Amino acid sequence: MTSRRFPVQIRADPLLFYHGNRNMVMVFESLGTLDFETLVRLIIAVGLGALIGVEREMVHKPAGLRTHMLVSLGACVFTVTSLTFMGDPARVASGIVTGVGFLGAGSIIALRGHIKGVTTAATLWVAAGIGLSTGLGEYMVAVVGALLVFVILKIRSVEEKFIAEKGGKRPRAM
């Protein structure tokens, strides 16, 4: 069978595919499956990462919508994949935490005695945790976590209004 749109000829052995004029042979032993629950986990991870990323975009931070979506999705993919291992999926989880911690550390900048990017690093770290939770099927933990992050990030606007009312002075910690 040859199609003009997809020049693939399927021979008697369904594992061998010939591609067009290049005569390349690709052997597919196993393409794996993507069940509905895994698809839902991936979509939820992207959506919850987007919730955090939208807030970061609104305040013009370098790690915004796409970054948070990708971090959450990546953590979910690693987690879902690790559940198929014969070994310990907790090792993959610890690798996610460490790897995203390294990514977050790259977003922190120290300039003239001021440190910037700590909140962005924290949101990347939490986005990975949300992706990890979603990958494990802990949807309520992931949803509540994402909502709490969004609320915590919105506290800044309330804090800025409070500071403006106090004459620009930040309240001192005890």
pLDDT tens for 114-151 read: 888 889 999 999 999 999 999 999 999 999 999 999 99
How confident is the model over 39-46, as a mean pLDDT? 96
The predicted pLDDT at position 53 comes to 94
**Same domain, residue pair 4 and 75:** no
**Same domain, residue pair 118 and 145:** yes
**Same domain, residue pair 3 and 53:** no
The predicted pLDDT at position 116 comes to 85
- State the residue for tokens 């003239």: 112
Check whether 25 has a pLDDT greater than 60: no
**Same domain, residue pair 27 and 51:** no
Residue 93 counted as domain residue: yes
Residue 173 counted as domain residue: no
Mean pLDDT of the chain: 80
CA nearest 124: which of 60, 61, 67, 82?
67
Q: Which domain holds residue 112?
A: 36-165
**Same domain, residue pair 69 and 28:** no
E strand or H helix that includes residue 111: strand 109-111
**Same domain, residue pair 28 and 60:** no
How confident is the model over 68-82, as a mean pLDDT? 95
Check whether 173 has a pLDDT greater than 50: no
Class of residue 131 by CB neighbours under 10 A (exposed 0-12, middle 13-18, buried 19+):
buried
Q: How many domains does the chain have?
A: 2
Longest alpha-carbon distance in the chain = 80
**Same domain, residue pair 48 and 125:** yes
**Same domain, residue pair 7 and 41:** no
Q: What is the pTM of this model?
A: 0.72
How confident is the model over 92-108, as a mean pLDDT? 88
